[in-house]
Amino acid sequence: MNCILFFLFAWEFEIAWGTLRTLIVFVCGGLWGAWAFTANTYWFHIDEALVGASGAIYSFLGARLANFMLNGDSMYNHFKAKLQLGVLFAMLGLEVYHYYVGTVSGVSYVAHVGGAAGGFLWGLLLIPNLRVRGLEELQRYAVASVLLLAGCVLIGYVYSTDPSTLCG
């Protein structure tokens, strides 16, 4: 599944926005996925290991959403963009569903969603807006700043709190 998602989203992202932006989204999205996994295991006292790059691969789903929000009206193939957006929401919906149902499969659903959130954040920061309308640029940086601050506060809170007080 990861190879398919990587091919569908990362390849096109690199062609459109370049290698450096692709690398930054991949690495930073992977870090967000790892942080989300670590916070979840710390919070719920789960003894698991994180292996693989699926959080980083899912960061391209988030970056695709950011690109669609910023440049959706400039995309020449609206059917393909909407199809990818449908796949994106279906994949993230399945991740959230499996997490809440408690599916035991050795897959870190939290890392996937964390990677997608990181990819969305870094996509908002790195993807150029092809047609700026009104205060769109200012709003984009404000949203990205709030998301970055929220992520830092969440990580700081989880790592500085006694785990026994978090759940109850």
The proportion of the chain whose per-residue pLDDT surpasses 70, expressed as a percent, equals 93
Place of tokens 């640029």: 137
What is the distance between the alpha carbons of residues 20 and 70, in angstroms, rounded to a whole number? 19
Q: pLDDT at residue 11 above 80?
A: yes
| pLDDT for res 107 | 75
More confident residue, 96 or 107: 96
| pLDDT for res 85 | 82
What is the distance between the alpha carbons of residues 82 and 77, in angstroms, rounded to a whole number? 9
Cα–Cα distances in angstroms (integers) from residue 68 to residues 29, 78, 80, 82, in the given order? 18, 10, 11, 9
- Cβ-count burial 34-55 (b if 16+ within 10 Å, e if not): bbbbbbbbeeeeeeeeeeebbb
More confident residue, 167 or 37: 37
| pLDDT for res 12 | 83
> Which of 8-22, 49-63, 83-97, 131-145 shows the lowest per-residue confidence on average (mean pLDDT)?
131-145
| pLDDT for res 158 | 66
| pLDDT for res 22 | 93
* Residue 104 · residue 127 · CB < 8 Å: no
What is the distance between the alpha carbons of residues 129 and 67, in angstroms, rounded to a whole number? 8
Q: Which value, in Å, is the radius of gyration of the alpha carbons in the chain?
A: 16
Using left for φ > 0, alpha for ψ between -120 and 50, and beta otherwise, residue 149 falls in alpha
Average pLDDT over residues 113-137: 85
Q: How confident is the model at residue 115 (pLDDT cuts 50, 70, 90)?
A: very high
Average pLDDT over residues 90-108: 80
Give the start-end residues of each E strand in 29-104: none
